[in-house]
């Protein structure tokens, strides 16, 4: 057996036997208030994908340290979940998705695995700070609806990052030294009401899409000249960017689709 979906309560080891789980690669807990993962002792080291969805009773998710093959960890709509132990030890993890888990607590002393390629968090109400200093392979970062998030630490060290999406994080601010990494191709930042500064745009030689919306305090230094005009630019309701837009011949509050001349890149 390589894949198993659980939607009701039973003793998984009694029904299937530990021996039958030795080749399990994908495990899904879906849409059952009573169905929650058992203890971490039986989880097979062959597991590559673990998905936990829509549990109203789950408060703690133990992650076994011997899950050396786990690549995808997805946790969605677990509104009572407060802890996920051992994520930092998942050395093969490539994708981490946490959606609508408002009570989940993340210790700043437990760094995320350096192997991650994708991090997506949405509706994580208790998240105050996200530390990414050691995630050097990260290519995709999506942060949405984290209304108490104030900082994302280590953005400037994400040398492999290609896609950055941050929406509806009204308390978020970037420091002067937290510049955007140079390999970014897509940047989308919207509804970040306290965001005052974005730096590093002048280094984005591969930028294809730039979207900045509803960030009323956001300013970009005149020295931050884009090295290449993106194919798609959308800047709306960012009143302090008017001069910067004029410098680049962008029209605020309007979508622009622009071909980048070869001699301009």
Asked whether the beta carbons of 67 and 49 are under 8 A apart, the reply is no
Fold of 117-265: 3.80.10
Condensed to tens digits (0 to 9), the pLDDT of residues 200-242 reads 999 999 999 999 999 999 999 888 888 888 889 999 999 999 8
Consecutive H or E run containing 11: none
Lowest mean per-residue pLDDT among 10-14, 57-61, 122-126, 206-210 = 10-14
User: For position 22, what pLDDT does the model report?
Assistant: 77
Condensed to tens digits (0 to 9), the pLDDT of residues 15-61 reads 454 445 778 899 888 865 554 555 555 678 889 999 988 888 888 88
3-state secondary structure of 87: helix
Asked whether the beta carbons of 1 and 19 are under 8 A apart, the reply is no
Q: What is the mean pLDDT of residues 58-67?
A: 80
Q: Give the pTM.
A: 0.88
The DSSP secondary structure of 184-229, one letter per residue, reads: --EEEEE--TT--B---GGG-TT--EEEEES-TT-B--TT---SS-
Q: Which residue from 233, 236, 199 is spatially nearest to 216, judged by alpha carbons?
A: 236
User: For position 261, what pLDDT does the model report?
Assistant: 38
Consecutive H or E run containing 98: strand 95-99
| Annotated domain spans of the chain | 1-108, 117-265
């Amino acid at each position: 057996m390589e894949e198993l979906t659980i939607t009701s309560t039973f003793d998984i080891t009694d029904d299937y036997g530990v021996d039958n789980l030795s080749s399990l690669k994908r495990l899904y807990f879906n849409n059952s208030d009573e169905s929650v993962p058992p203890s971490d002792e039986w989880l097979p080291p062959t597991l590559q994908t673990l998905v936990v969805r829509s549990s109203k009773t789950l408060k703690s998710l133990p992650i076994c340290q011997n899950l050396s093959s786990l690549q995808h960890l997805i946790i969605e709509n677990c509104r009572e979940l407060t802890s996920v132990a051992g994520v930092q030890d998942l050395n093969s993890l490539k994708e981490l998705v946490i959606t609508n888990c408002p009570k989940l607590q993340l210790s700043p002393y437990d760094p995320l695995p350096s192997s991650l390629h994708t991090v997506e968090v949405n509706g994580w109400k208790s998240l105050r700070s996200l530390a990414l200093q050691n995630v050097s392979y990260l290519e995709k970062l999506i942060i949405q609806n984290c209304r108490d998030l104030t900082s994302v630490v280590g953005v400037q060290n994400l040398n492999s990052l290609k896609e950055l999406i941050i929406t509806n994080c009204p308390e978020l601010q970037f420091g002067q030294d937290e510049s955007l990494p140079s390999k970014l191709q897509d940047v989308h930042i919207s509804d970040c009401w306290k965001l005052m500064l974005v730096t590093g745009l002048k280094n984005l030689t591969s930028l294809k899409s730039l979207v900045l919306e509803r960030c009323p305090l956001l300013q970009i230094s005149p020295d931050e000249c884009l090295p290449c005009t993106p194919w798609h630019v959308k800047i709306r309701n960012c009143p302090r960017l008017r001069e910067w837009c004029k410098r680049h011949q962008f029209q605020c509050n309007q979508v622009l689709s622009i071909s980048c001349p070869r001699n301009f890149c």
